[in-house]
Amino acid sequence: MITAINCNGERLGAELAHLATITEATPPAVTRVVFSDADLRARNYFKDLCRKAGLSIREDGIGNIFARWQGSDPESAAIGTGSHTDAIPNAGLYDGVVGVLGGLEAIRILQEKGFKPRRSIELLMFATEEPTRFGVGCLGSRALAGTYNEEKILSLRDEEGNGARDCAKRIGLSGEFNALMLPENYYGAFVELHIEQGPLLEKVGLPIGIVTAIAAPASLRVTFEGEGGHAGTVLMPDRKDALLAGAELALAVDEISRATGSADTVGTTGMLQVFPGAINSIPSRCTLGIDIRDTQLETRDLAVAGVKLTAQEIAARRNLPITIETINSDLPATCDARIIAAAERACETLKLKPLKMVSRAYHDSLFMARLFPTCMIFIPSRGGVSHRPDEYSSPEQIARSVEVLALTLAQLAE
């Protein structure tokens, strides 16, 4: 086993900095929504870097990019690594990106070390990890895992009513979604490097997290229909104000999530759309985007059921029509003991003490784990901040984690 390896922090830092300039927000904020021009430029930049590293590249119909370092035994299942480069509005520069560019750096330093993989090592850039465009996250990895089939993907629409096929074709992809699922034995293992996006590693003062489980996300879209009308002439007793029902429900989401008895239950109303949205017009429609998670499926589902019930109760009391749509309701994932052990050995070799921990954020690994033995390596996040421009991990923290990833991949590809 390789006993020492060094990340080229300067090279990786320059690439992270360059990718951060490919944004539709004012730097340092990063906005890079899938199938946008910024997304297309980021893809081209990534593919160019992979070509320079001698990797063979392919892209599937929905935009997952596969960059392969061919091993000596092409018949054996490859080892996968990677993450995403799409970013929600006003995000930071590390979420997903350190798993893509850090994965490339891990491959390059293994190449420079003269390592020769028996199993091919394949770096993925997943399409659409963030839910921004179509309301559902991990569309690319759901497709690879067979969780979403062609029909389901074609049913999705963005806010302008564009379908996934048109959006994909707009940036030059085939838009063919009928054969995206990977064969069961395509990867022998999958390891994703990602920032923790939480405060734990910093709190306990450890440099690396090894993920043992990934929390189960669910999201709902709830719409209340009111009557609207003129803000000056409709008297209070005659109103049917949809926003007030939405406000009650948002407070209930918070209350229900706090009351499950589990510290792992989180509930957020991240979106609230009011129609017509004029200061002097009573809201006639209010749509809420609600995100509920827990590491335990039963607890998560209890919270979701409580929110749905409360929504119906509010609608009945206010005599408003309501629609409740479940956008996604996913199972949690358990990481593979064999890969966790490989990551622990890599930490030992590098004299780094890891923390075994749960991921409260979801990731593409949640869906890769449906088909392949999977694990994640976490990088500490300053103040636990993420999905904000001040998201930060130090060059040293990133370099150490890239080295852990490199030695983990080397063990698995031998």
* Token code pair at residue 273: 């759309």
Is residue 241 at the binding interface for Mn ion, with CB under 5 A as the rule? Answer: no
Residues 1, 411: contact at Cβ < 8 Å? yes
Figure out which of the listed residues 15, 39, 95, 225 binds Mn ion, where binding follows CB under 5 A: 95
102 or 137: whose CB is closer to ligand HGY?
A: 137
208 or 282: whose CB is closer to Mn ion?
A: 208
Is residue 137 at the binding interface for ligand HGY, with CB under 6 A as the rule? Answer: yes
Distance CA 106, CA 377 (A): 13
Tell me how far, at minimum, the Cβ of 352 lies from Mn ion, in Å. 22
Tell me how far, at minimum, the Cβ of 311 lies from ligand HGY, in Å. 22
Q: In what order do the strands lie in the sheet with 285-294?
A: 266-275, 285-294, 216-225, 322-329
Residue nearest to Mn ion (CB): 96
Distance CA 32, CA 177 (A): 22
Distance CA 102, CA 104 (A): 5
Is residue 92 at the binding interface for Mn ion, with CB under 5 A as the rule? Answer: no
Partner that binds at residue 336, options ligand HGY, Mn ion, none, CB closer than 5 to 8 Å by kind: none
Is residue 361 at the binding interface for ligand HGY, with CB under 6 A as the rule? Answer: yes
96 or 175: whose CB is closer to Mn ion?
A: 96
Q: Which residue has the tokens 């000056």?
A: 232
Instruction: Please tell me the number of Cα atoms within 13 Å of 186 on its side-chain side.
Output: 20
324 CB neighbour count, 10 Å cutoff: 15
Amino acid at 193: L
* Token code pair at residue 387: 């999905």
320 or 376: whose CB is closer to Mn ion?
A: 376
Quickly list H helices, 259-363.
297-318, 337-349
SS3 240: coil
Figure out which of the listed residues 39, 86, 130, 391 binds ligand HGY, where binding follows CB under 6 A: 130
Distance CA 342, CA 285 (A): 52
Figure out which of the listed residues 71, 96, 135, 140 binds Mn ion, where binding follows CB under 5 A: 96
Tell me how far, at minimum, the Cβ of 201 lies from ligand HGY, in Å. 16
Tell me how far, at minimum, the Cβ of 85 lies from Mn ion, in Å. 10
Tell me how far, at minimum, the Cβ of 31 lies from Mn ion, in Å. 12
Number of residues that bind ligand HGY (CB under 6 A): 5
Residue nearest to ligand HGY (CB): 361
113 or 387: whose CB is closer to ligand HGY?
A: 387
For Cα atoms 357, 360, 364, give the angle at the middle one, nearest 5 degrees. 100
Applying CB under 6 A, the residues found at the interface with ligand HGY are: 129-130, 137, 361-362
Question: For binding to Mn ion (CB under 5 A), which residues are involved?
Answer: 95-96
